[in-house]
Amino acid sequence: MQVLRRLLQAVDAGDTCVLATVAGVTGSAPRKVGTRLVVSARGVRRGTVGGGEVEAAALANAAEMLAGRDAGRTLEIATNCGGVVTLMLEKFSPQRRLLVVGAGHVGKAVARAGAHAGYRVTLAAPARPEPLPDAATVECVAASDPTVLEAWEGPERTQVVVATGDAEADGAWAVAALLRPFAGIGVVGSRNKAAAIRHTAAGAGVLPDRINALRCPVGLDLGAVTPEEIAVSIMAEVIRLDRTGEVPETWRRASRG
């Protein structure tokens, strides 16, 4: 129970962990079924699956999973004492976050779609938005100054979607987000707006690779028209980025301007 408690504490604190569990034993093995080991991305380790070759395999595979996108593995490991141990490895990550800047029709639709997709959503606007009746978990906050992003907790697991409806404000929020290690930054707008934001970002000292990560216009090319359709296209792109780390350019939304 202490191993599982440590796992929950670590994930709640924003750490990513791999839990290794002895799921089966044939013959002689150092540990019985149900024995657990948890390894975190921050280097915390609790428990054991038996030491020796079994522990070494668990640690090596956990390191690979923490560095990649693999969510689970099952290993069959022959022990030096003549048995076989089946290990089940599972990765647990903190809840994904979504910050939507702008509480117009599109912003609210994106916040709803994000909440329904399982994200922890914050909807920000200069005047605190009214709670969304059909998405009660969305946190609604008043924020008019992009400097609030400097103190944002867990930017590396937060996607940002900017949809203020004001070109100057969109640019200010996008550049502020690009200066921080957010998981992704998307802006509702045209390719002309994207060019202006990239120019401003370069002047602010944002590195080229980071500038190129800006997604504007944000969303997949679904032919979306209504706010709800646009929200679906945006969240589809966000989910694709979170799950695979890339979005093919041919899938992206087109813009005439």
Q: What is the CATH number of the domain that holds 235?
A: 3.40.50.720
How many domains does the chain fold into?
A: 2
Q: Let me know whether 14 and 113 are in one domain.
A: no
Q: Let me know whether 180 and 73 are in one domain.
A: no
Residue 65 reports pLDDT greater than 70: yes
Residue 256 reports pLDDT greater than 50: no
Q: How confident is the model at residue 127 (pLDDT cuts 50, 70, 90)?
A: very high
Report the alpha-carbon distance of residue 233 to residue 231 in Å, rounded.
5
pLDDT at 80: 82
Average pLDDT over the chain, rounded to whole? 92
Residue 32 reports pLDDT greater than 60: yes
Residue 73 reports pLDDT greater than 80: yes
Helix (H, G, I), strand (E, B) or coil at 111: helix
Determine whether 65 is exposed, middle or buried from the number of CB atoms within 10 Å of its CB (0-12, 13-18, 19+): buried
pTM of the model: 0.80
Q: Is residue 227 part of a domain?
A: yes
Q: Let me know whether 109 and 34 are in one domain.
A: no
Q: Is residue 257 part of a domain?
A: no
Q: Is residue 111 part of a domain?
A: yes
Q: How confident is the model at residue 204 (pLDDT cuts 50, 70, 90)?
A: very high
Q: Give the residue numbers spanning the domain of 135.
A: 97-251
pLDDT at 255: 59
Q: Is residue 256 part of a domain?
A: no
